[in-house]
Amino acid sequence: MFVRSALLLATLAGGLSTSALPQTVAELIAEFGANEGPVRVSAREALATLGPEAVAPLLSAIAANPPPVEQPVGQALLLLTHRWSDSSARRGEVSEALLEAAAGLDDTVARRFALYLLGQVADESVTPFVVELLHDPDVAFAACDCLQQIPGTSPTAALAVALEWAPPELQVALLRALGRRADRRSALDVRRLLGSVDPAVRAAATAVFPRVLFGGRPLDERAVSPGFRQVRLVDGASLVEACTILDVNRDGRPDIASGGFWYEAPAWTPHAYREVTNDGSYANDWGEYALDVDADGWTDIVSGGFHTAEISWYRNPRGQAGPWPKHLAWSRGDEFYETVVMVDLDGDGQGDFLPNAGAPIRWFEVVRREGAEPEFVRHDIGGEGAGHGLGYGDVNLDGRLDVLTPSGWYEAPEDRRAGEWTWHGEFSLGSTSVPILAHDLNDDGLSDILWGGGHGYGLFALLQQREGDARTWQPQTLDGSFSQAHAPALADLDGDGRLDIVVGKRWKAHCGRDPGTDDPLYVYGFSSAPGAGLWRRWVISYNEGAGIGLQQSIVDLDNDGDLDIVSACKTGLFVLLGELPE
């Protein structure tokens, strides 16, 4: 591997700018996209030795079909960009390399992908250079999307100024970008377009104006609402963002597990059960779920890891002290398992696992055979739709859970294991929360789509419309004033028999590079009246340290008849105890 890496570096040092990659590079990219885990891991480690000088030759290898993010070379570039941008020493280098590629490469698809990657770096200093590319019709929309992702005041100002000269189609894109940023400083610029002669521009300005006008308004609600009492179990030193609820010791009381510890009810006494590492920015715990994997009557814990791109389960030692035995359920190298969702996809009454990974989208079923260890069996769904965000819900109300992605949904077949999942590429949501949820938000009998801006501002919905067999989606912003709602959930918190929406801010999700990164932490509930389709926000916690990282768990912890929230965030582990009036 080290010889291969050295050859690769030597080849790239010459500044290759043609579309033909040297054989060594091409072989590594092919291995990075391989199915065999060890081969992929070895290739990933070799690629990780590269510096930003690799940007131009790798981008030059991008072809128009399939989309770059679904190609091995695109996935490799995304991996490298994240690694480089996490290093302050290399962040400027990768920004410069991506800017040069966006401005100078011949291939339009490669240029647009360079701007997408530049948005991931989130370096405010590149703003004036990206603004120049708004004048280039080949990459103008990609430049707009790039500016929308970059934190700071200068991208907002640049987007607002561009409204004055941009053609109508680009004005619509600029308005949507400003709406996502929800910065009041752009309100006057947006207001000028409320009377635009172009109907699409006028509609976009009308939708966006309330968001930018009120998005930055300070909240006047109490820090913690009367309906919830906040308890902090752990400070944020561990950086853990995942948690689950289970009865570890079978005493009939729900315990909490988060990171390397489980907390015994009712005093929340901590017990170490595994080691969870962190890299100074993230803990390698990207999802925890309670499931009796081995069917021995004791609840085990299933966990996903982004750094290790694995799914593992930890066997409950049945009351014995010490570490829980770890069992590797799945590992195939760096496939961006940012988090894992547990949901009963096949309808057999037990949890299955749906990781937010690259293509193909897949799910894992726990199969138990007498005399053998439990096995996590993989089932592929399809190659479309992979991106930041994944979820589930019954979109077509056929009684089966479908799989939701940022760019469409997969219709579940009758046989979820062997049947073919039907792809419906009906929308484009951008970088979303995990999960994306399907729920009837306006009481019209149709399932709508709900998601949060996982790395941007807003809580959004697509309202399903039907005319005969034709299905369309009407976009709606439920609230554009807060950012990083990474893990929304549905639960009846107020006891009215209707599901409420629960969202919270993920703290420093991209190490401070996301829009609104320094805004106060929050946990909000949204409730609606029957048939109104209008959602009222109320505060569960605001600026009191509690947020929601990659996961929240909602159960009745104290057996008082109302629901409580357990949330893990980089600032700590919190219990928000519901206290509904009698």
Q: Of 10-19, 315-324, 335-344, 368-377, which gets the smallest average pLDDT?
A: 10-19
Give the pLDDT of residue 122: 81
Dist. CA 254–CA 261, nearest whole Å: 14
Residues 6+ apart with CB under 8 A from 207: 179, 475, 477
In degrees and rounded to multiples of 5, residue 68 shows phi and psi of -55, -40
pLDDT at 6 over 50: no
Instruction: Please tell me the number of Cα atoms within 13 Å of 401 on its side-chain side.
Output: 20
Per-residue pLDDT band for 452 (boundaries 50, 70, 90) equals very high
226 and 102 fall within a common domain: no
Dist. CA 113–CA 205, nearest whole Å: 28
Q: Of 4-8, 60-64, 80-84, 490-494, which gets the smallest average pLDDT?
A: 4-8
453 and 579 fall within a common domain: yes
Among the listed residues 516, 519, 522, 476, the one whose alpha carbon sits nearest the alpha carbon of residue 502: 522
578 and 453 fall within a common domain: yes
- Pick the last residue of a domain from 109, 133, 151: 151
Give the pLDDT of residue 306: 79
The chain-wide mean pLDDT, for the chain, equals 84
Give the pLDDT of residue 295: 94
Q: Give a yes or no: residue 52 inside a domain.
A: yes
Q: Give a yes or no: residue 490 inside a domain.
A: yes
Which DSSP letter does residue 505 get?
B
Q: Give a yes or no: residue 356 inside a domain.
A: no
Q: How many CB atoms lie within 10 A of CB 41?
A: 19
231 and 99 fall within a common domain: no
Q: Give a yes or no: residue 28 inside a domain.
A: yes
- Whole-Å CA distances, 204 to 171, 475, 509: 9, 11, 29
In sequence order, what are the beta bridge partners of 460?
451, 477
Residue scoring higher pLDDT (172 or 64): 172
Give the pLDDT of residue 361: 92
Q: Give a yes or no: residue 233 inside a domain.
A: yes
233 and 116 fall within a common domain: no
Residue scoring higher pLDDT (287 or 70): 287
230 and 129 fall within a common domain: no
pLDDT at 216 over 50: no
Q: Of 55-59, 237-241, 488-492, which gets the smallest average pLDDT?
A: 55-59
143 and 232 fall within a common domain: no
pLDDT at 34 over 70: no
Contact 299/247 with Cβ under 8 angstroms?
A: yes
- Pick the last residue of a domain from 136, 151, 166: 151
pLDDT at 336 over 70: no
Residues 6+ apart with CB under 8 A from 158: 127, 128, 130, 131, 147
97 and 231 fall within a common domain: no
Q: In what order do the strands lie in the sheet with 300-305?
A: 288-291, 300-305, 310-314, 326-331
Give the pLDDT of residue 565: 96
Dist. CA 570–CA 486, nearest whole Å: 13
Q: Quick check: helix, strand or coil at residue 56? A: helix
pLDDT at 350 over 60: yes
Question: What pLDDT digit, counting tens, does each position of 80-123 carry?
Answer: 787 777 666 778 888 998 999 899 888 888 899 899 889 878 88
33 and 147 fall within a common domain: yes
Q: Give a yes or no: residue 260 inside a domain.
A: no
Give the pLDDT of residue 63: 66
Question: What pLDDT digit, counting tens, does each position of 390-434 carry?
Answer: 999 999 999 999 999 999 999 999 999 999 999 999 998 988 999
Mean pLDDT calculated for residue range 351-377: 91
Q: Give a yes or no: residue 414 inside a domain.
A: no
Give the pLDDT of residue 41: 57
* Helix locations, 122-152, DSSP H: 127-133, 140-149
Quote the domain boundaries for residue 483.
Answer: 221-237+442-582
Q: Of 5-14, 183-192, 276-285, which gets the smallest average pLDDT?
A: 5-14
89 and 228 fall within a common domain: no
User: Element (H or E) spanning 102, and its range?
Assistant: helix 88-104
Mean pLDDT calculated for residue range 518-547: 83
pLDDT at 17 over 50: no
Number of domains present in the structure of the chain: 2
Give the pLDDT of residue 12: 40
Question: What pLDDT digit, counting tens, does each position of 487-523 carry?
Answer: 999 999 888 888 999 999 998 888 778 888 888 899 9
Q: Give a yes or no: residue 176 inside a domain.
A: no
Mean pLDDT calculated for residue range 263-288: 91
- Pick the last residue of a domain from 104, 129, 151: 151
460 and 575 fall within a common domain: yes
Give the pLDDT of residue 43: 64
Dist. CA 444–CA 544, nearest whole Å: 37
Among the listed residues 548, 543, 575, 576, the one whose alpha carbon sits nearest the alpha carbon of residue 220: 543
Q: Of all residues in the chain, what percent carry a pLDDT higher than 90?
A: 49
Question: What pLDDT digit, counting tens, does each position of 318-335 carry?
Answer: 999 899 999 998 876 656
Per-residue pLDDT band for 33 (boundaries 50, 70, 90) equals low
